[in-house]
Structure formats: structure tokens, C-alpha cells
Amino acid sequence: MVTLKHLSVNDNDEDRVPLLPEASSLESPTTQHSRAESREFFLSRRNNFILSIALLLSCYSAILVPAYLPTPEAAWTNDSSAETLALLNQSAALLSQSCRGGWSVEKVRSLSTPAGLLKIPAFLENGTGDYALPPPLGLQGSEEMVAKALKALPYTSVPTGTETCRRCVVVGSGGILHGKHLGPHIDQHNIIIRMNDAPVFGYERDAGSRTTIRLIYPEGAPSQSKEYQRTEVVALVAFKSLDLAWLISVVTKEPLSWWSKLWFWRNVIDSIPLQPENVRILNPEIMYRTGQVLKTYTEQQKKVR
């Protein structure tokens, strides 16, 4: 016992009782139990991992699921018959002219082309390709995929024909041809190049009935097998390394993993009803060098004006 001016304090360490109760003792048993469960949940690595995966999948689904939903088809309207007739006459006049061999090459050379552009192969071959730039203008970081893809493709050259002079036409993906009745005129060309999933089946009267080369990428490849009928070659335009992996899967019939498919922005097809000899890879260097030519041409035209 210690006495200080009439103040007594019991100095017994063993039996000492705290002057104030602990804060935790003031809470109800229900509150204490709830906090304990919350602390145990958030401190658990397993629960944190599961929660993180759930949040990641939720965000991923919110972004990508709308891309898989069906979109309404565009309703195309026909132009006036007079405009259509004028277009048909113009097309017929062009086809009636004699084919001029080397005309396209002369035009390209007149645009101050970079040295060697005309010597670059259109389709990727062993020992070709620019690896200094990433896709789609180069192959940087895709060396292994390129080697596997080229190994699976027996041919890499441009389709050859018996004609000494060949007419070429590029058919776009838009609906501007709808109602123009240019299909028979398009079919008269020797080389017909189409883009992505531009439809042919059911639109032969306006878009033609056959395809020499169809340029595609995984998300833009036609999903209906009938669209590959009367098609000589499909050529991949690689925008990412995964596109090359998809092409290998299509050619070798070995399915992609579900994880790989998650990284496409829309559903992709698993197979193409064509043989490996009908598949090519567009040389990305062609796009890069052609872009330089067009840029130079545009600058020259601005100076002229």
C-alpha cells in the first residue's frame, strides 16, 4: 500500500484490475464475431485470389461479351437507275479496252517508289519479312510463330495463270455494290481480291461469284463455309502474333487453347474448308513500303496544288 496525501493505491501487480475496460470488451459479441470473420476473409490468400479472379472475369466479360452479341444487318438502299446505268456503262467501257501488260508496274514506278519495293514478294516466304517493326507492319517478336506457320504452308507464291496479261480488281467490304449489278463485270477480271468477310453467296449479281485472293484476319474471316467456294487463296494479314497462332491451328487442325481464344475481340472460326496449299501470309513489309509510297504521293500532290 502506497499513501500519498490521503490517496491510496493498491500496488498489487498480480491481482491488478485495469482502471478502464479494454475497447474490445465494450463491443457486443456479435460485432466482435463479424469483425473476426471479415479480418479472416481479407487476410486469406486463397480468398483474395478467388476474389481477384472473379473481378477480372467480370470486367473482361463486361468489355467483350457485347462484341459476341448479334448485330443488326445494315439495310442498303438502291441508287437511282440512271446512276446505276452510268456505272455499268463506265465498267463496260473499261473492260472493252485491251489489257496492257505492265501498266500497274509503270504506275507504281511513277510514284517515286522506294528502292526494292517491286522486288518484295507479296506473300511471306522463308528469309523474307521485316523484323524491325511490330505487327501489322513488321514481324518483331513473332519469329517463332512465323517459322511454324511457314513450315505448315507448302506454297507461298502468288497464284499463277495461263494469261499473258491479267486484269485485277479489288472488291471492298462495304455495301456500296448492293443493287449495282456489277457482278458479271467483276467476274471478267483475272484476279479478284476481296477483304475479310465481304459476302459473295447470295450477292453474285452485285459482287461477283468467285474470289482469287481473300485477305483476312482471325476476327474478320467468313464464318460460313460456302463463302470459301470458288476461292483460290486466303491470305492472313497478321495484326498480332496470336493471329499467326490461329493460322497454324486452322492449317494443322490443332485447336487453340481456350485461353488463347479469350484474347480475340470476337469469336473466331476453328477451320477453313481449304487445303494448306491454298493458304498464304501477306508480307507485312508490303504494307509498310506501300504506306511510304502513298505518303510521298500525297505530299507531292499537296505541293502541286
Domain of residue 243, CATH code: 3.90.1480.20
129 and 277 fall within a common domain = yes
| Measured distance CA(290)–CA(36) in Å, rounded | 66
Domain-embedded: residue 129:
yes
Q: 61 lies in a domain?
A: no
pLDDT at site 47: 75
The pLDDT score that the predictor gives to residue 43 is 55
Q: What pLDDT is stored for residue 46 in this prediction?
A: 73
Residue 264 forms part of a structural domain: yes
Q: Provide the number of structural domains found in the chain.
A: 2
**150 and 272 inside one domain:** yes
Q: Per-10-residue mean pLDDT for the chain, 305 residues long?
A: 50 50 51 56 68 79 67 58 89 91 80 70 84 88 92 86 85 87 95 94 94 96 94 95 96 93 93 95 90 79 70
The grid coordinates listed for 302 are: 499537296
- Res 62: pLDDT: 75
Q: Is the same domain home to 185 and 296?
A: no
If asked whether residues 221 and 301 sit together in one domain, one would say no
Predicted structure pTM score: 0.72
Please tell me whether residues 220 and 294 are part of one structural domain. no
Q: What is the pLDDT of residues 216-238, one digit of tens each?
A: 999 999 999 999 999 999 999 99
The pLDDT of residue 20 is: 45
Same domain (yes/no): 151, 261 = yes
Instruction: Tell me the three cell numbers of residue 278.
Output: 491454298
The grid cell for 87 is 456505272
Distance CA 165, CA 189 (A): 11
2: three-class secondary structure by DSSP: strand
The verdict on 277 and 287 lying in the same domain is no
pLDDT at 4 (0 to 100): 47
Q: Are residues 115 and 136 in the same domain?
A: no
Task: Give the domain extent around 299.
Answer: 104-120+283-305
Distance CA 231, CA 52 (A): 47
Closest CA to 125 of 141, 139, 140: 139
Return the C-alpha cell found at 155.
Answer: 506454297
Residues 175 and 288 in one domain: no
One-letter amino acid for residue 257 of the chain: S
Determine if residue 181 is left, alpha or beta; phi over 0 gives left, psi from -120 to 50 gives alpha, anything else beta: left
pLDDT at site 271: 93
**CA gap 37, 208 in Å, rounded:** 69
Judge whether 246 lies within some domain. Answer: yes
Is residue 275 located within the same domain as residue 234? yes
For residues 108 and 207, state if they share a domain.
no
Separation of alpha carbons 124 and 150, rounded Å? 8
pLDDT tens per residue across span 106-123: 877 776 666 577 788 889
Residues paired with 3 in a beta bridge: 8
